[in-house]
């Protein structure tokens, strides 16, 4: 007969993901500046959001330049990645894709707002190109709604 002595082995503690995770994710992936700012603040303090198990990874603008023609699009691309990755993990990607792409465009337009005249027009044109690329090429969906 086997007898164990000493402290009992405790089962690992598994923390439940907060029930409001879908609401938080939804709030951080909207088109408005307040949504962007809330996401950016959370991104700067990721440790405070550990329980939510968000995927903060990013490849920024993937194979496109992060700062095309000197326009700083890197953060907009990171938030877009955040939305894609986390909505995909939550099973809500198909329903959210259009909004995520629109939020990306809004973020790019806010970048362009700091410029004037010809530079601003150039930025808007570049932003539109990036937006059209994600609308067309961003994680194609199969007929059943799953990403390929």
Domain residue extents for the chain = 21-137
User: Predicted confidence band at 5 (pLDDT cuts at 50, 70, 90)?
Assistant: low
pLDDT at 32 over 50: yes
Q: Nearest to residue 79, comparing CAs of 111, 47, 116, 51? A: 111
Q: Does domain 21-137 have CATH number 1.20.90.10?
A: yes
Quick one: pLDDT at residue 2?
47
Q: Which residues are catalytic?
A: 80
pLDDT tens digits along 76-92: 999 999 999 999 999 99
Residue 137: the pLDDT is: 86
- Give, to the nearest 10 degrees, the angle between helix 21-28 and helix 74-90: 150
| 100 neighbors 29 (Cβ within 8 angstroms) | yes
pTM of the model: 0.84
**pLDDT confidence band for 8 (50 / 70 / 90):** low
3 state SS of 45: coil
CA-to-CA separations, 28 to 11, 79, 81, in angstroms, rounded? 34, 9, 12
Q: What is the pLDDT of residue 148?
A: 42
């Amino acid at each position: 007969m086997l007898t164990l002595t000493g402290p009992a082995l405790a089962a690992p503690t598994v923390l439940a993901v907060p029930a409001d995770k879908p609401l938080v994710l939804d709030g951080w992936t909207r088109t408005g500046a307040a949504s962007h700012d809330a996401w950016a603040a959370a991104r700067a303090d990721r440790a405070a959001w550990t329980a939510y198990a968000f995927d903060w990874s990013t490849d920024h603008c993937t194979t496109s330049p992060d700062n095309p023609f000197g326009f700083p699009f890197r953060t907009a691309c990171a938030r877009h990645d955040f939305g894609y990755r986390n909505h995909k993990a939550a099973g809500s990607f198909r329903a959210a894709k259009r909004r995520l792409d629109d939020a990306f465009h809004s973020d790019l337009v806010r970048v362009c707002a700091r410029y004037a005249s010809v530079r601003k027009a150039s930025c808007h044109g570049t932003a539109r190109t990036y937006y059209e690329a994600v609308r067309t090429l961003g994680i194609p969906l199969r007929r059943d709604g799953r990403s390929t």
